[in-house]
Structure 1
Amino acid sequence: MKKIGVLTSGGDAPGMNAAIRAVVRKAIYHDVEVYGVKYGYQGLMEGNIEKMDLGSVGDIIQRGGTILATARSDEFKTDDGQHQAIEQMKKLGIEGLVVIGGDGSFRGAQKLSAKGFPCIGVPGTIDNDIPGTDFTIGFDTSLNTVLEAIDKVRDTATSHERTYIIETMGRDAGDLALWAGLAGGAESIIIPETTEEFSDICNRLERGRERGKKHSIIVLAEGVGNGFEYGERIKEETNLETRVTVLGYIQRGGTPTAQDRVLASRLGARAVELLLDGKANRMVGIKNNDLVDHEIDTILSEKHFINKEMYNLSKELSI
């Protein structure tokens, strides 16, 4: 294999640039040409592809977002769109593709691999919701962004003696809310993977008030419900003054942490190694700090689970 491509797809995540850098430099180290695809699968179909060199990825390891940009594409989901993408790569002699993104991005890689074009997936999403890996690129940075917000909100919650709801990203996965809630000492953590009676949340707040607690922090994953609606219900049930902070897209931005930079570098380099070894339709990941890889078919058929022990601990510590 003498030429490979790399693209980022779906939602951006801090550390994607570090992964791109690793792919480019690892490939060049092995005398392989690298082509960057702009705007994900949409750009792949349109032939928005440019050759990259060492200078192309200079001074990007510390930058958030993705220098290749990202976009979603319904057209690529069709057979015609996938064949068009493959033809664009064949024109340039590209023989393999590294796809950095989440499960939607991996479905695209799966389709291309099934059509005989080798693809390797690198998990990049702040939700940390990809099976087969302990962590995804961007999760640690986003986690620290949420934690910083919790710490700052706690200062004002203490000053005004209020209950604050912090709404995080996590439509289908609660890792971000769970880890941030545990690290931030939240009284309640509300995530999609668990069911907790609303009365239990209110009772916990009431117990805190009875022992003289002046403020409380609740972390809510967006997939469970609307933070403002929760705030209104809590105020009605407990008569506690409640405020809501929706963190939104600031969770996706910012300088990647050291952990995300190292993880992205290791995973990006390993993806190139797999392509050079003739592998296809696989995803790289990390388990117990060791690099692993799995069939993308297997990853897409499995379900991500939260760490129940962590969730139970968060409840024990918030008594």
Structure 2
Amino acid sequence: MIKKIGVLTSGGDAPGMNAAIAAVVKAAISKGIEPYVVKEGYKGLVNKWIEKVNINFASDIISRGGTVIGSARFVEFKEESVRQVAVNNLKEMGIEALVVIGGDGSYQGAEKLTRMGINCVGLPGTIDNDIVSSDYTIGFDTALNTVVRSIDQIRDTMQSHNRCAVVEIMGNGCGDLTLYGATATGAEVFSTHESKLSEEEICAKVKELAEKNKRSVIVAVSEKMYDAHKLAEKIEKASGYVTRATILGHVQRGGSPTAMDRYLATTAGMFAVDQLVAGKGGLYVGMSDNKLVARDIDSTLNMPKKDKSNEYNELRKINAAC
């Protein structure tokens, strides 16, 4: 039976990370295991920023956004000599296992630590929903609700003044926030990395809607694809709509997590501790067909992405209809 478990967050912050940390801490305590938190991700392992926590710590953080233990990108962790420092620090403190909350890059570090004698289990913490081995990630639902609420509010003004709005949404290469946001708000035009429209195609679609006297138009686009403000200018010139761009930015990464994110984070955290207590490591906990599953990290990093072409095509048909 292991005696000490650590938990860290790595990569971009996501609502629900704190709920996952709390679940790991409480699950460990319930099994007679001492819980520890690692500050600032993998960097904290190397610098020995590791602290023992208690049930009061866990109870105070469930509803908070972001991650109270901090996160940092630490490219040096790719070096085995650097990872060995981390392993030595953990062994010196008697910490035998680790829960890592983050994305694909975080899992790579967790897999390498497992090979070096520290069992690790990864939890999917990212607003982007870009971990293909899990149907949903911790933070996605909260970010999606922020996107939907923002577009709804922007729509109010566009509808009042017969205008068009370009809304740039996060995702870092994954279009799920944009696709789901467009689905939930009826955005007439949307474009993602997986199903990209050219600027000319976007302008043509908006022009068609203007000719049909559509009172307001939302153009939802994933980040890192266009200059949103210049695209708005092109749309205005082509369609006649007064068009403005709104870049939602980091507001999507913050905020108190939704009930669904808290539920996923809590159940996944408990499940992760169970895997570690069973002596397992090198695993990733994901949601598949509404059930928690534990897969080996290597296979999760190489799973093919689901084809959503039909979903895109069907949604474009109904959202563009007048």
TM superposition score category, shorter chain reference: over 0.9
Q: Is the 1:175–1:306 Cα contact (8 Å) retained in structure 2?
A: no
Shift of 1:250: 0.4
List aligned pairs for 1:25-40, cutoff 5 A: 25-40=26-41
Equivalent residue for 2:75? 74
Shift of 1:144: 0.3
Residues 141-174 of structure 1, C-alpha deviations (whole Å, 9 max, x = no match): 0000010000000011112211101101112100
Q: Is the 1:9–1:101 Cα contact (8 Å) retained in structure 2?
A: yes
> Unaligned 5+ residue runs, structure 2?
none
Residues 93-129 of structure 1, C-alpha deviations (whole Å, 9 max, x = no match): 0011100001111111111112222110000000000
Equivalent residue for 1:263? 264
Residue 21 of structure 1 pairs with residue 25 of structure 2: no
SS of the equivalent of 1:163 reads: strand
Q: In structure 2, what is the Cα distance between the partners aligned to 1:268 and 1:259?
A: 14
SS of the equivalent of 2:284 reads: strand
Q: Is the 2:132–2:305 Cα contact (8 Å) retained in structure 1?
A: yes
List aligned pairs for 1:124-163, cutoff 5 A: 124-163=125-164
Residue type at the aligned position of 2:129: N
Q: In structure 1, what is the Cα distance between the partners aligned to 2:120 and 2:128?
A: 22
Residue type at the aligned position of 1:138: G
Residue type at the aligned position of 2:135: D
Residue 233 of structure 1 pairs with residue 234 of structure 2: yes
Equivalent residue for 1:43? 44
Q: In structure 2, what is the Cα distance between the partners aligned to 1:120 and 1:138?
A: 18
Equivalent residue for 2:60? 59
Equivalent residue for 1:207? 208
Residues 3-29 of structure 1, C-alpha deviations (whole Å, 9 max, x = no match): 111000110000001100110111111
Q: Is the 1:234–1:240 Cα contact (8 Å) retained in structure 2?
A: yes
Q: Is the 1:191–1:223 Cα contact (8 Å) retained in structure 2?
A: no
Equivalent residue for 1:10? 11
Equivalent residue for 1:310? 311
Q: In structure 2, what is the Cα distance between the partners aligned to 1:202 and 1:231?
A: 9
Q: In structure 2, what is the Cα distance between the partners aligned to 1:109 and 1:253?
A: 25
Shift of 1:239: 3.4
SS of the equivalent of 2:281 reads: coil
Q: Percent identity?
A: 46
Shift of 1:228: 1.4
> Unaligned 5+ residue runs, structure 1?
none
Q: Is the 2:159–2:215 Cα contact (8 Å) retained in structure 1?
A: yes
Shift of 1:49: 0.2
Equivalent residue for 1:105? 106
Shift of 1:81: 1.2
Aligned residue pairs, count: 319
SS of the equivalent of 2:5 reads: strand
Q: Is the 2:190–2:221 Cα contact (8 Å) retained in structure 1?
A: yes
List aligned pairs for 1:218-257, cutoff 5 A: 218-257=219-258
Residues 205-239 of structure 1, C-alpha deviations (whole Å, 9 max, x = no match): 22222222122001110032221132122223333
TM-score under structure 1 length normalisation: 0.96
Q: In structure 2, what is the Cα distance between the partners aligned to 1:162 and 1:4?
A: 55
List aligned pairs for 1:275-294, cutoff 5 A: 275-294=276-295
Q: Is the 2:164–2:218 Cα contact (8 Å) retained in structure 1?
A: yes
Shift of 1:306: 5.8
Q: Is the 2:195–2:312 Cα contact (8 Å) retained in structure 1?
A: no
Q: In structure 2, what is the Cα distance between the partners aligned to 1:176 and 1:262?
A: 20
TM-score under structure 2 length normalisation: 0.96
Q: In structure 1, what is the Cα distance between the partners aligned to 2:267 and 2:224?
A: 31
Residues 257-278 of structure 1, C-alpha deviations (whole Å, 9 max, x = no match): 0000000001111111111111
Q: In structure 2, what is the Cα distance between the partners aligned to 1:233 and 1:84?
A: 54
Residue type at the aligned position of 1:86: V
Residue type at the aligned position of 2:58: V
Q: Is the 2:210–2:240 Cα contact (8 Å) retained in structure 1?
A: no
Shift of 1:305: 3.4
Equivalent residue for 1:180? 181
SS of the equivalent of 2:61 reads: coil
Backbone CA RMSD of aligned residues: 1.3
Shift of 1:302: 2.4
Q: In structure 2, what is the Cα distance between the partners aligned to 1:307 and 1:293?
A: 24
Residue type at the aligned position of 1:33: E
SS of the equivalent of 2:82 reads: helix
